[in-house]
Amino acid sequence: MSSQPLLLSLTEAAALLSLTKQQLYELTRSRSRLRQAIPLPYVRLGKRLCFRRESLERWLAELEAASEVCGNEKQYRNEKPH
């Protein structure tokens, strides 16, 4: 069994993602989540926001993959036919 906790606090998740607590909190707000193509995964336990490390790692991988796809589309549009 892993010695790492199942859930990370807002502070721990922010540190993992190199964000401030306020930046991370803003990503969880409903107004912000509606604008996100890939919403940040979290659970609310009472008033507390919690994050699974595995979910955050998967979210980052999805963002990275989406970024690469967008980059390839931009490159394709910018290429001039010969």
Residue 2 falls inside a structural domain: no
Nearby residues of 62 by Cβ (< 8 Å), 6 or more positions away: 38
pLDDT digits (tens, 9 = 90+) for 37-60: 889 999 999 999 999 999 999 999
Burial 70-82 (b: 16+ CB within 10 A, else e): eeeeeeeeeeeee
Residue 51 falls inside a structural domain: yes
Residue 29 falls inside a structural domain: yes
Q: In degrees, to the nearest 5, what angle opens at C-alpha 22 toward C-alphas 19 and 60?
A: 35
Cβ atoms of residues 53 and 4 within 8 Å:
yes
Q: Which residues pair with 48 in a beta bridge?
A: 45
For the cut 90, the answer to whether the pLDDT of residue 66 exceeds it is: no
Q: How many domains does the chain have?
A: 1
Domain of 33, in residue numbers: 10-78
For the cut 90, the answer to whether the pLDDT of residue 75 exceeds it is: no
pTM: 0.74
Residue 32 falls inside a structural domain: yes
